[in-house]
Amino acid sequence: MRILATGLRGALLALMLAATPALGVQPDEILKDPALEARARSLSAELRCMVCQNQSIDDSDAPLARDLRILVRERLAAGETDAEVKAFLVARFGDFVLLRPPLDWRTALLWSAPFLVLLVGAAGAMVALRRRRAGPAAPAPLSADEERALDRIMRG
């Protein structure tokens, strides 16, 4: 029994270690200048992997994410600012490449959707509470024909 418990603990530990996210940045991509590398990592964390879509290019192992990480590092090494690198990528891929797109008329629904869902949920909860407090609706009175039919049933 003790061997089984130890084996289960070992398997659980292995699963937990396997579930940790791996960073996509490869050793050959890292810049020699630590300040420039820190800027590249910060910028990469703000850019969306176009393949994975819900990961930054810093976290993704996709080939396109690797290409984008290299492109970011090349442009930073060439002396561009973070804003210039972002502007270049937005011009090429659109606002979708940004994990936090800017608030404008095209993205207003995206930014307001959580608040709209919250408002709809609150309104639904209020309606449900009012119905619960009011109790069940009183049944409509029986018509004369229904009362006669009920009397016949009751007499047997």
Q: What is the pLDDT along the chain (156 residues), one digit of tens a residue?
A: 666 556 667 666 555 555 444 456 666 667 777 888 889 899 999 999 888 878 899 888 889 989 999 999 999 999 999 999 999 999 998 888 998 888 888 778 877 889 999 999 999 999 999 888 887 777 889 899 999 999 999 997
Residues 6+ apart with CB under 8 A from 100: 46
Q: Which of 23, 22, 39, 43 is nearest to 31 (CA)?
A: 39
What's at 82, amino acid-wise? D
Looking at 1.10.8.640, 3.40.50.300, 3.40.50.740, 3.30.479.10, the CATH number of the domain 19-97 comes to: 1.10.8.640
What's at 9, amino acid-wise? R
Domain boundaries, the chain: 19-97, 103-135
Work out whether the CA dihedral 102, 30, 77, 68 comes out positive or negative: negative
What is d(CA 103, CA 111) in angstroms, rounded to the nearest whole number? 7
pLDDT at residue number 13: 58
pLDDT at residue number 90: 92
pLDDT at residue number 17: 52
Are the CB atoms for 57 and 68 separated by under 8 Å? yes
